[in-house]
Structure 1
Amino acid sequence: MSGLLYSLVKIVVKTGLYGYHKKIVISGLENIPKDKPVMFLPNHQSALIDVLLIATDCNRKPYFLTRSDVFKGKFLKRMFSYFQMLPIYRMRDGRDTLSNNDAIFNSCAEILNRGEALLLFPEANHNLKRSVRTLSKGFTRILIRTFELYPDVDVQLIPVGLNYKHAAHFPDEVAIHYGAPISAKSFYDSKDLNKTSFDIKREISGRLKKLTIHIPNDGAYEMILDRLNAENADFLSPVSTNEKIESYIHGEQRLSNQTIPIQEKRSLFKFLFTVLNFPIVLIWRTWLKPKVPEDEFMGTFRFACAIITYPIYMTLLFAILSFSLSAYLACVILSMLTLVNVGLVKYGLR
């Protein structure tokens, strides 16, 4: 029964993600081993959306390392535990809590030794900047602990590039590129753990800079980003876009200090979408959107609003239309409404 519930939730979330995004492109799934322990190591831009996109399509059932401050109350702890989420403690949670990570690292080592999958973000924070940030040593500490406890385990590292067109916008497009597996064991040197950690971080960082858009985070960042926006660069294609970035950096194309703002185009399609979903749009704009703490959470909050309120909205419409017309006509109207909404998200809205 518990497995059935997990599968149902996964189907609902996956359906929601594909309905919410204009386009989701996935490549490299063949790189994911099905019979070996795996550690997924993606870049981190869009808070919980990053997790959901990987969890619903990676062909594994991964455990997740999650910030400890969300594990509040018995109900939430049980729910997060059911969905294979493990708390990770940070300095901001209090220095005295950091010792709890020792038991978590042991749990992660055991998970990998069982041949299961683990997902964590090596950057250890999220940011909308199109740059691969300095990697934390947290994931390498887990790997070292794993090899110390289970020397023969063959952990496969899968770098994952998440590429959003405009992560804070709706509807958005995203490409997820799974890189070739890397044997963590080949980097392990029990006599020099610092070198082990350094070499693994360097390898993963280099892979991520090829699997996602990487603009060096220096004084030219904004100029390069403006130029990419002006040329309508394909942010779903890291290979071609990174080639453009290299040409800018090496002077093959001149950079300009002129800022080119991204203007949101209003259209009849957007007006129609707002009218058809007015209660949901109203809740989002007047109540939930002002509570979003930072742009990195915009997609997460908006998606949560949609996946919770849309079924309620459709249920209420069905009840009203069934009472005033008939259940059959209510089904026809709501089916048409759903198709129109999907069409607007996929082809109408910008």
Structure 2
Amino acid sequence: MSTILYSLVKSVVKTGLYGYHKKIVISGLEHIPKDKPVMFLPNHQSALIDVLLIATDCNRKPYFLTRSDVFKGKLLKRIFSYFQMLPIYRMRDGRDTLSNNDAIFNSCAEILNRGEALLLFPEANHNLQRRVRPLSKGFTRILFRTFEMYPALDVQLIPVGFNYKHAAHFPDEVTICYGKPISARSLFDGNDLNTSSINIKNQISSSLENLTTHILIDEDYDAILNRLKAEKVDFLNPTSVNEKIKVLTQPGIDSSNMPVSEKRKFNLFSWLFAFLNYPVIIIWRLWVKPKVLEDEFLGTFRFAFAMISYLIYMIFVFAVIAIVFTSYIAIGGICILTLLNLWMVKYALK
């Protein structure tokens, strides 16, 4: 029963993700070992959306390291534990809580020793900037604890690059690129943990820089980004974008700041979509969206709100049509509305 419920929730979330996004492209799934301990190490841009996109399509059933402040109340703890989420404690949670990480690191080592998968974000924060940020030592500490407890074990590190067309907008497009596995054991020297940590972080960082758009922060970031937008590069293709960045950052190339208008052109289907889903959209725009203080969370909150509110809205529409006409007409009506919405998300909305 437990496995059935997990699979059901996964299927519902996956269906929602593919209905919410205009396009989801996944590459490199063949690189993921099916019978070895794996640590997924993605760049982090769009809060919980990043987690869900990996969890629903990575062909493994990963455990997740999650910020501890969401584990409030017994019910939430039980729900998060069921979905294999483990709390990780940070300095902002209080210095006295950091000691709890020792037990979490042991749990992670045991998970990996069982040949299972672990997902954590090595940047240790999220940001919409199109670059790979410096990696923290957290994931290397987990690796070293694992090797300390299980000296014969190797762990396959899988870098994962997220490439959103525009993570804060709807509908969005995203490419998830899984890199080739890296043997953590081959980079580990038990007699020199500091050098081992540096080597592992450098290897993962280098891989991530090839799997996602990477604009160096010491360059004129805004100028380069505006040039990329002005030339309408395909942010879903990190290889071609990074090649373009190399050209723009060559000596003698003018990469002066070119303002790019983010104003969207008039789109008839956007008005039609808003009209057909007016109650959902007006609640989102006037009540929910203003409460989202960071753009990195917009996708997550919009997706969660859409999953819940759209179901309620469809039930309401069904009830009204069934009362006025018949239940058969109501079923036909919500089917047509759902298919029309899906078509607009995939092909008509900008």
Secondary structure class of the residue paired with 1:125: coil
Counterpart amino acid of residue 243 in structure 1: E
Partners of 1:159 and 1:258 lie apart in 2 by 33
Counterpart amino acid of residue 16 in structure 2: G
Q: Deviations over 1:139-171 (max 9, x none)?
A: 000000000000111210000000000000000
Structure 2 counterparts to residues 10-89 of structure 1, below 5 A: 10-89=10-89
Counterpart amino acid of residue 113 in structure 2: N
Kept after mapping to 1: 8 A contact 2:224/2:255: yes
Report how far residue 259 of structure 1 moved. 1.5
Kept after mapping to 2: 8 A contact 1:157/1:181: yes
Secondary structure class of the residue paired with 2:330: helix
Kept after mapping to 2: 8 A contact 1:229/1:262: no
Secondary structure class of the residue paired with 1:105: helix
Report how far residue 263 of structure 1 moved. 1.7
Counterpart amino acid of residue 240 in structure 1: S
Structure 2 counterparts to residues 1-350 of structure 1, below 5 A: 1-251=1-251, 253-350=253-350
Partners of 1:58 and 1:217 lie apart in 2 by 30
Secondary structure class of the residue paired with 2:24: strand
Partners of 2:252 and 2:56 lie apart in 1 by 41
- Using the aligned pairs only, state the percent identity: 70
* Unpaired stretches in structure 1, ≥5 consecutive residues: none
Partners of 1:291 and 1:251 lie apart in 2 by 44
Report how far residue 99 of structure 1 moved. 0.4
Kept after mapping to 2: 8 A contact 1:160/1:176: yes
Q: What is the number of residues matched between the two proteins? A: 350
Counterpart amino acid of residue 264 in structure 1: R
CA RMSD of aligned residues (A): 0.8
Secondary structure class of the residue paired with 1:45: coil
Secondary structure class of the residue paired with 1:317: helix
Secondary structure class of the residue paired with 1:335: helix
Q: Deviations over 1:204-230 (max 9, x none)?
A: 000000000000012410000000000
Counterpart amino acid of residue 98 in structure 1: L
Partners of 1:133 and 1:275 lie apart in 2 by 41
Counterpart amino acid of residue 303 in structure 2: F
Which range moved further: 319-328 or 30-39?
Answer: 319-328
Counterpart amino acid of residue 285 in structure 2: R
Report how far residue 5 of structure 1 moved. 0.7
TM-score for both structures, normalised by structure 2: 0.99
Partners of 1:261 and 1:126 lie apart in 2 by 25
Report how far residue 254 of structure 1 moved. 2.1
Q: Deviations over 1:289-331 (max 9, x none)?
A: 0010200000001001100111111011111111111111111
* Unpaired stretches in structure 2, ≥5 consecutive residues: none
Secondary structure class of the residue paired with 1:97: helix
Q: Deviations over 1:215-249 (max 9, x none)?
A: 00124100000000001110000000000000011
Kept after mapping to 1: 8 A contact 2:224/2:257: no
Partners of 1:266 and 1:54 lie apart in 2 by 34
Partners of 1:11 and 1:79 lie apart in 2 by 17
Report how far residue 253 of structure 1 moved. 4.0
